Amino acid sequence: MAEPILKVRNLAVGYPTPAGMLQPVKGVSFDIDAREVVGLVGDAGSGKSTTALALLGLARAPGKIMGGSVKFDGRNLLTLPDEDIRAIRGRDIGIIVQNPRAALNPMLKVGRQIGNAYAAHNGGSASDARAQAIEMLRMVGINDPERRVDTFAHELSGGMAQRALIAMALSSRPRLLIADEPTSGLDVTIQAQFLDQMWQTVQMTGSAILLVTQELGVIANYCDRVLVLHEGRIVEDAPVRQFFAAPRHPYSQDVLRLYREKGSDYPAQVASGAPVLMQAKGLTKNFPIRHSSKVVHAVDQVALTIRKGEAVGLVGESGSGKTTVGRCLVRLVDPTDGTILFGGTDLSRLSNAAMRGYRSRVQIVFQDPFDSVNPRWTIAQILDEPLRLHSTDDAAARRKRAAEVLALVNLPEALLDRKPKGLGAGALQRINIARALILRPDFMVLDEPTSVLAPRARNALIALLARLQAELGISFLFISHDLTTVRFLCQRVAVMYLGQIVEEGSVEQVFSAPQHPYSRALLSAHLFPDPTHRRVDHPEAAALQGEIPSPIDLPKGCYLASRCGFANDACRSTPQVLTQQDGRAVRCHRVVAGEI
Amino acid sequence: MRTASTKLLCSAAALCLLAGAATPLSAKEILILSEDVPAGLDYDGPSAAIPASQQGMVTLLEPLVGYAASSTNDTGVTVPDFNKFEGRLAESWSFDAATLTWTFKLRQGVKGCDGATFNADDVIYTFQRAKSVSGAAPIGWFLSNVGSIKGFGPEVFGGDAAAKDIGDAVTKIDDYTVQIKQGEPNALFLPVLTIFGLLIFDKETMEAHKTDADPWSHDYVNNTNAPGFGAYCLNSWTKNEEISYSANPDYFAGKPDVDTVTVKRVPQSSNRAVVLQTGEAQVATGLTPREFDSLRSAAGLKVGSVAGNENTFLHMNFKVKPFDNPLVRQAISHAIPFDQIIANGYFGQAKQWQGMVPSSYPGYKASANYTYDPAKAKELLAQAGYPDGKGLEAFADSFRLSYVSEKESTLGPIVNIINTALQAVGIPSTLDPIPQTQYGDRQLVKRDLPFAINDQEKPIGVDAGYAIQLFFVTGDKGGLNNMVNYSNPTEVDDAWAKARVEPDTAKRDAATAAIQDVLARDVVWLPIVEYKTQWAHTDKLSGLRWYPDNSLRYYDLKLAE
Amino acid sequence: MSALPDIDALPALPPKRADWLFRIGLVIVITVTILAAIGPYIGPYDPMLTTVRVAQPPPSLVEIPGLLTSWFAGTLPYPPHFMGTDVSGYDIFSRVIAAPRTDLVIALTANFLSLAVGVFLGLIAGYFRNVATELLMRVSDVMQSFPVFISAMVLVTLAGRSTSNIVIALAFVYIPIYIRLTRAEVLSQKSRGFVEAARAMGNSEIAIALRHVLPNSLTPALIQSSVTIGFAILLTAGLSFVGAGVRPPTPEWGLMISTGANTIILGEWWPSVFPGIAISLTVFGFAVLGNALERRYEDG
Amino acid sequence: MLLKYVLRRLSIGLVQLLGLTISVFFLIRLLPADPVSRLVGMNASKEAYAQAQAQLGLDRPVLTQLSIYLGFQPDVSPGLLQGSLGVSWVTGSQVTAEIASYLPVTLELVTLSFLFAFAVAVPVGMLSALRPGGRADKGVFLYSLFAGSQPEFWWGLLFVYVFFFKLGIAPAPLGRLSPMTTPPPPMTGFILIDTLLAGQPKKFFEAAHHLMLPVLNLTFVLSGPIIKMVRQNMLRALQSDFVLYANSIGLPRKVVARYALRAAMAPSMTLIGILYGFMLSGAVLVETVFSLGGIGQYAVRSVLAFDYPAIQGVVLIITAISLVVYLLLDLIHAAIDPRIAY
């Protein structure tokens, strides 16, 4: 066995606080071999990013490295003088971080920054640096690099900024690349594209990777070995197949529990005779742009039917318009056109006063739990507001109802008199749900309730939602970019792309046999945590190319034409129509014609 | 007290070092430090009321007649003899009582700064300009009106242009003889001619700078120069900064001793005191009593001081309750600590003022001998219905003691002492410094200033009668400056009307004396002190002379080598 | 839809020094407030009345213990002048401790008057974006572009040197600042989740603005308050210095400095030095307080 | 694009100035003061009062006065449109000429003080930001808080007492030159430049000697807020993500420092603009202590003399300069930071 290129022994990092020294990393030890891809997984606050930075002898102020050693080529990086460690950083060990646009200097052109990184380790004139920058940008798959090299960080999309970082990190062919949650800010398809691109580039440069992430799917599909970090210590170090098959440490078992129990069955369909609760037809919403006649086409002729007691999933990437649809249904946003029938009344045309009556029967839960509760109020006041607005009960009755609904989301009544400050994301999201349930609504929109939660809190919330649906028979519109959650919760699902529904059907139909090229790419890009079926082992034809077009001047034909592998001239010229076909619908003339 | 402050002043290492090092000046040159420099040189213009501007006018222009010099006091300041006039541009004059006509024989061979010769036309031009009332503040017209020159009545302000024509009031007999007619017998005729408001302009230069919009060259005189026959000519003039004059070789009384006189604006009095000591300047004016007192004994310096016509009095408005009650006015007259004010406020450079007109003026009578007697003051207040001041709180606003805020450094201590003394007898007084403009407006125009300290009333006409008319005759009967709205038709108005046209000076003086007794009885003004007019200067300078407008005449000054 | 990045690093922590500095600031502010209440009554002399001793220098430090004991024992002819007397004979020590009643009261009234008006207008301008509020902002811009000191001087001199006019002049300067501060905070709070949730629940716009947005938008204005109060004291003193401030003989630090200014060049330093020390300490106290609040808000 | 932005900003500035002029015009006239009395002086007769009022044009209705002042009736007297700010009621000369002679004094004092304050504050602010929490940082932090909360006119008096009265190393606070020296011909109004232009080095040093204390005074007061700002911006830049990332890819210390400095300087520009605008009118106190005769003192004199045209002129000119300074600094800010779109 060749010498491991990196040997880390009881690395510790601490933060001085008025309440004494806080140690997120309490003594971490592991090795990385040449050309090996090692995954480092753990909850938020488990010290993953602090460890990654500490490998380079760095810590975010006011933290500092307390002890331990990081041996690279036999030299302990933590004790090297400043010039030597600076030479190693970037030349031998590259790093990319989770918030690419913040990591790039906002005031310098991207090309110059990459050039600076290259010149720092390889010398050469300014023109060499620029040529090298263009070459690196091409290598990481950015189209027309000659123009992109002169753009600024704020002009790049998340995906492109991350590729620029990779170009910078790998410009000196380092032997180890540290990737600290590189895709946490990216859409699913972009994430897949990015990870594939990183994987290919690293094959060329021959670097090992330390891949830090919270997503088990990423670990399963890209890593050879897994390190599990829990409360500042490595609690498990195993090959990926063995880890997923038989996790030894209780924490690992807990994290994997959801995937192990759920297996592959789908939630039962609602009886076909169930009455229709909420039906949107031709729902359209355009947002005007200041100082120009142009308009952003956020939602375009969307039709949705939700039956009583049914949970419908609405999936798609950022900019697909799914959030706007959700807001239109609860009239937080007034639709430009179309009707929203709820129990026979068209909500879209009601005046604010008339709509107030329906507010108690139609509720919404938002994505960021910390942001959706008034920080200055106690939980009792937060839960009491809807009651105060809509019910005539006295204070005592309202307080009893509040305690009742807290128990429903299995939170202790003692929470009533506390303020949101200091509560965890999971608990706060349950309070949000409790607030939505308190008026016993018929219909609830859930706008990406799980995206902010850590894996374990996410699993608990999904279990809760499933129980509530069964017990209370509430209808859900579940908006999310996390297909795993939709798969376990919803009966039907609709896939949205650039304001339009491109495919709709039961969860089983769409998940097992997606028809529209976008649904296929979405599903294949979704990294199911199954190491036996790794994405890297067989590159998918369904991967999409290029960037999402802008929603302001939409293409004439199919919106996906510029990125779809199956696109032909007809696709590019004729606008696509959503056509019903044996209980499901698709917006692609080639699928309807059975060509693909 | 005196020695401490001198040591204090001289301990400034910088000052004593420099004092001796002033280099002797070849051509005789002096620098005068003043609070301000002329803002305009037109005595009918917008800045005529500002003392600094008057200094510029009396330096460049010459009057027809002036007062003769009298004795010189121990500080080297010569005072005028108000009963003896001497000719300036006029050589001699005679008065025909029957036709009320004055005939003036003018000096010959007198040349102005631009070489123009002086003759009768210049005198005619000056009075015609005054009658045109074309300036912003027609002082020339006012003085002629006070001296009862024929035709100078209020009708001049009407629309009728003819009323503005000089007519036969001032006529030219020949190139060097002029006649001026009076409308009625009035002893103030000669005194008004000595005042800065009737200085003689040089017609040729003035007419050279007139424009259609400004026929009387107000703009030229206000912003550039005042051409005349004065002892000095204008070298350079930057408003708000500096003005400098050079001696006029053809001055009728011979070339002045000092060749160049420069006046520089140094706003803060303490700064002027400091620079004078460094020897960089030769004269400093308008210092505080404390500063004059400490400079008096400084090396190489002298302080010329004279009991002129500057006085401080308390003004109580008859139209404002409770000042309409004579008992209250008498009570207040006994609540003023005159000696403490003289000692702490003026540092001994003042004496109690016991009359209603300046004691140096002819016809003065020491009629107001008020004594500081707090007990009597309290007793009078009780009689007036306010035992220990109870009930006076209702008039708190009336007891706001106003004074000019720009004079804080001099008046500050005095108003504070008075404020404390009044409160001691139960009067709810507070202080109210207001800007000069607002003070002038409320005192002269609106006459609604209830309670004020005033130290800037120097009657121009050097005559008790003139002061009585200006300040104490009822407003619409000629009492132009009756700021306290006092009205006593019989004992004052009628008595003065008779005395005004009384040719026999003895009878006139007896009448004015009687009036002054009435004024003292009614405490029309509460006279406090007559403070000395002072100038601090290098001991090499001599010949200072005091004039009623308190401006120095630079041709009096002699500079030793 | 970008999921919030999972940063496990802790926020920048306040360095240890904030504590004792905050304590000093607090002590200064409390002392000045107490003096504002009882200052005029506890001095050896009545601050509004002159004494016969004019321009008397203060006793040297070494003499003070002796003076104190004999004063208590009652053997002194008149109470000692700890800070000497000024040109009119006022006891400077009594006036320095009586001045907070004028300076602090003017600063506090001006500050909270402009805080109330500024926050209210800022809330409206931020929450209800329409033609009227745009006009309001333009007027506020014009007010803010006035030269601060000169406009205050014009207002006070022409309207009369009463404390109420000074307060109005100060408010004229500070209202635009509070409007701008609050409006910015309201704009950022207005788009937060709990506001949308409140709207979804059926609250009226006004209820949302008052119950949710306003309470969360007050913090920047409150932090600015302590800085503004300190600044108001400086401005009041500055106005008195050029003769456009409070009317004498009201004990006010700026006025005392300006009276002393005339004679400092002649060597009499005490009439203006002691009130100057008082101002700089007081304003420093408020500045420290403001800074500590600001840091707590950033971490809170 | 840049030209469009500048033109837009200038037009907004003009509208603001117009709004300001009209509001000052009416604001002054609302206040209970009457300027006529100052002229009437001794003869307060009704006719003299009316005569003086006509002379000042105050007998006309207010709206006509405004239209004349703005320059819509050039036949009566030149107004704003003709570039004239009217005539001062005290001295009778053109307000524009008077301001032209006083304004450079203040501009020279404030600009010099800013340069010195900047030269001191930037390095000090950066050094303390490089070692946050260190002893130097604490000291600098305390100084910046202290200096920023000081009454500058009192410190001016202290400097006069110590440096002039006690030590005698500074000249008497009597203006820009000692009384005896005749000032050089005013070409630019900036005394330091005028003395050089006139080729009088002796007077240049004398002027510099006289400016020493006032500039020290203002620099001391200005250094407080500038240090605080530079330190805060520098700290925020050094702890930013992109500096941390620049270190983690091994960029040399010099390059990282350049990244941080540029990021710290950009936001500072706007505050400097506001501080400069504020100091223009705030410098009156230092001017009064050292009797430099700047625009501040001219304003004080005009206000006390109820000289309406002068007051309006001063307020207008100072605001105009502040707006130009704001615009200039915003442009510099945009030049440094590409994120600011025009």
Strands B400-404 and B430-434: parallel
> Residue D154: its chain C contacts at CB < 8 A?
237, 257, 272, 275-276, 279-280
A106:D263 CB<8 A: yes
Q: Which domains does chain D have, with CATH numbers?
A: 99-292 (1.10.3720.10)
Q: What is the mean pLDDT of chain A?
A: 85
Q: Give the full edge-to-edge strand order of the sheet including B283-285.
A: B232-238, B242-247, B260-265, B29-34, B283-285, B533-538, B301-306
Q: Which of A520-534, B318-332, D145-159, D272-286 has the lowest mean pLDDT?
A: A520-534
pLDDT digits (tens, 9 = 90+) for C244-275: 888 888 899 999 998 888 888 778 899 999 99
Residue B478, pLDDT > 90, answer no
- Contact criterion met (CB below 8 Å) for B463 and B358: no
Angstrom distance (rounded) from CA C246 to CA C165: 9
Per-residue pLDDT, averaged over D195-209, amounts to 88
Any domain includes A515: no
Q: How confident is the model at residue C21 (pLDDT cuts 50, 70, 90)?
A: confident
Task: State the nearest Cα–Cα gap between B38 and chain D, in angstroms.
Answer: 9
Q: What is the pLDDT of residue B353?
A: 94
C150:D157 CB<8 A: no
If interface means Cβ-Cβ distance under 8 Å, which residues of chain B face chain C? Answer: 8-9, 11-12, 268-271, 273-274, 288, 290-291, 294, 340, 344, 405-406, 408-409, 412-413, 415-417, 419-420, 423, 430-435
A60:D239 CB<8 A: yes
Q: Domain boundary residue among A173, A201, A234?
A: A173
B48:D41 CB<8 A: yes
* Percent of chain B surpassing pLDDT 70: 95
Residue A263, pLDDT > 60, answer no
Which of B47, B267, B438 is the closest to D90 by Cβ? B47
C200:A332 CB<8 A: yes
Residue D49, pLDDT > 80, answer no
pLDDT digits (tens, 9 = 90+) for A180-205: 988 877 778 888 888 888 888 888 88
Any domain includes A56: yes
Q: How far is CA D31 from CA B179, C138, C242, D35, D306, in A?
A: 50, 24, 19, 11, 10
Q: How confident is the model at residue B15 (pLDDT cuts 50, 70, 90)?
A: very low
Q: What is the mean pLDDT of chain D?
A: 85
B437:D165 CB<8 A: no
Residue B455, pLDDT > 80, answer yes
Q: What is the pLDDT of residue C11?
A: 40
B460:D55 CB<8 A: no
pLDDT digits (tens, 9 = 90+) for B124-161: 999 999 998 888 778 888 889 888 899 888 888 877 88
Residue D265, pLDDT > 90, answer no
> Residue A481: its chain C contacts at CB < 8 A?
1
Q: Which of A138-147, B445-454, D98-107 has the lowest mean pLDDT?
A: A138-147
Q: Which chains touch A (3 or more CB pairs under 8 A)?
A: C, D
Q: What is the pLDDT of residue A248?
A: 87
What is the Cβ-side half-sphere exposure of residue B115, based on CA atoms within 13 angstroms? Answer: 0
Strands B311-316 and B525-531: antiparallel
D38:B49 CB<8 A: yes
What pTM does this model have? 0.82
Which of A158, A214, A366 is the closest to C6 by Cβ? A214
C248:B409 CB<8 A: no
pLDDT digits (tens, 9 = 90+) for A221-253: 888 899 988 888 888 898 988 888 888 888 888
> Residue B422: its chain C contacts at CB < 8 A?
none
> CB-based contact (8 Å) between D151 and chain C?
yes
Q: Are residues A391 and A471 in the same domain?
A: yes
Angstrom distance (rounded) from CA D325 to CA B254: 59
Per-residue pLDDT, averaged over A206-220, amounts to 87
DSSP label at residue D188: S
Task: State the nearest Cα–Cα gap between C285 and chain B, in angstroms.
Answer: 32
Element at C89 (helix H, strand E): none
Residue B21, pLDDT > 60, answer no
Number of domains in chain A: 4
Q: Are residues A329 and A392 in the same domain?
A: yes
Task: State the nearest Cα–Cα gap between A50 and chain C, in angstroms.
Answer: 7
Residue A290, pLDDT > 90, answer no
| Length, in residues, of chain B | 561
Q: Are residues A322 and A244 in the same domain?
A: no
> CB-based contact (8 Å) between C154 and chain B?
no
Angstrom distance (rounded) from CA B239 to CA B379: 54
Q: How confident is the model at residue A541 (pLDDT cuts 50, 70, 90)?
A: low
Q: Are residues A306 and A330 in the same domain?
A: yes
Q: What is the mean pLDDT of chain C?
A: 86
C147:D303 CB<8 A: no
Q: Domain boundary residue among A261, A289, A306?
A: A261
> Residue D240: its chain A contacts at CB < 8 A?
102
> CB-based contact (8 Å) between D147 and chain C?
no
Q: Find, in chain D, the residue whose alpha carbon is nearest to that of C261.
A: D157
Residue D280, pLDDT > 90, answer no
Any domain includes A266: no
Q: What is the pLDDT of residue B72?
A: 92
In chain B, residues 48-67 whose CB comes closer than 8 Å to chain D:
48-49
Q: Are residues A115 and A223 in the same domain?
A: no
> CB-based contact (8 Å) between A46 and chain C?
yes
Any domain includes A527: no
Per-residue pLDDT, averaged over A498-506, amounts to 90
Q: Find, in chain B, the residue whose alpha carbon is nearest to that of C265.
A: B270
Q: What is the pLDDT of residue C2?
A: 27
The CATH homologous superfamily of the domain defined by C100-250: MetI-like (1.10.3720.10)
B24-51 in b/e form (b: 16+ CB < 10 A) is ebeebebbbbbbbbbbbbbbbbbbbbbb
Cα A247 from chain centroid?
25
Q: How confident is the model at residue B26 (pLDDT cuts 50, 70, 90)?
A: low
A110-138 in b/e form (b: 16+ CB < 10 A) is bbbbbbbbbbbbeeeeeeebbbbbbebbe
What is the Cβ-side half-sphere exposure of residue C281, based on CA atoms within 13 angstroms? Answer: 18
Strands A37-41 and B430-434: unpaired
pLDDT digits (tens, 9 = 90+) for B480-536: 788 899 988 888 889 888 888 888 888 888 999 999 999 999 999 999 999 999 999
Q: What is the pLDDT of residue D43?
A: 57
DSSP label at residue A228: E
Q: Domain boundary residue among A151, A173, A195?
A: A173
pLDDT digits (tens, 9 = 90+) for A333-390: 889 999 999 888 888 888 888 888 888 889 999 988 888 999 889 999 999 999 988 8
Residue B11, pLDDT > 50, answer no
Q: Find, in chain C, the residue whose alpha carbon is nearest to that of D324.
A: C145
C243:B405 CB<8 A: yes
Q: What is the pLDDT of residue C256?
A: 93
D241:A108 CB<8 A: no
> Residue A90: its chain D contacts at CB < 8 A?
248-251
D246:A105 CB<8 A: yes
Residue B9, pLDDT > 50, answer no
Which CATH number characterizes residue A28's domain?
A: 3.40.50.300
Backbone phi and psi for residue A280, each to the nearest 5 degrees, phi listed first: -100, 140
Q: What is the ipTM of this complex?
A: 0.80
Per-residue pLDDT, averaged over B335-340, amounts to 94
> Residue D52: its chain B contacts at CB < 8 A?
136-137
D303:C280 CB<8 A: no
Per-residue pLDDT, averaged over B197-208, amounts to 92
Q: What is the pLDDT of residue C116?
A: 94
Residue B63, pLDDT > 70, answer yes
Q: Which chains touch D (3 or more CB pairs under 8 A)?
A: A, B, C
Q: How confident is the model at residue B120 (pLDDT cuts 50, 70, 90)?
A: very high
Q: Are residues A298 and A374 in the same domain?
A: yes
Residue C3, pLDDT > 50, answer no
> Residue C280: its chain D contacts at CB < 8 A?
146, 149-151, 154
Q: Find, in chain D, the residue whose alpha carbon is nearest to that of C280.
A: D150
pLDDT digits (tens, 9 = 90+) for A9-44: 989 998 887 677 888 888 889 999 988 899 998 877
Q: Are residues A284 and A139 in the same domain?
A: no
The yes-or-no reply on A/B contact (3 CB pairs or more, < 8 Å) is: no
Which of D244, D262, D336 is the closest to A58 by Cβ? D244
Which of D33, D141, D160 is the closest to C158 by Cβ? D33
The H helix count followed by the E strand count for chain C is 13, 0
Q: Are residues A166 and A236 in the same domain?
A: no
- Contact criterion met (CB below 8 Å) for A438 and A386: yes
Q: Give the full edge-to-edge strand order of the sheet including A295-307.
A: A295-307, A276-288, A337-342, A345-346
Q: What is the mean pLDDT of chain B?
A: 87
Task: State the nearest Cα–Cα gap between A351 and chain C, in angstroms.
Answer: 12
Per-residue pLDDT, averaged over A437-459, amounts to 85
Q: What is the pLDDT of residue A261?
A: 56
pLDDT digits (tens, 9 = 90+) for A71-112: 988 889 888 888 888 888 888 998 998 888 889 988 889 988
Residue C299, pLDDT > 70, answer no
Residue D226, pLDDT > 50, answer yes
Residue D154, pLDDT > 90, answer yes
- Contact criterion met (CB below 8 Å) for A499 and A465: no
Domain of A4 in residue numbering reads as 1-92+175-261
Q: What is the pLDDT of residue D342?
A: 57
B233: β partners: B246
Q: What is the pLDDT of residue D16?
A: 85
- Contact criterion met (CB below 8 Å) for B53 and B29: no
- Contact criterion met (CB below 8 Å) for B367 and B519: yes
Q: Are residues A487 and A553 in the same domain?
A: no
Selected residue of B37, B156, B445 to mutate for chain D interface (largest D Cβ count, 10 A): B445
A364:C197 CB<8 A: yes
Among B189, B205, B303, smallest CA distance to B541 is for B303
Task: State the nearest Cα–Cα gap between A373 and chain C, in angstroms.
Answer: 5
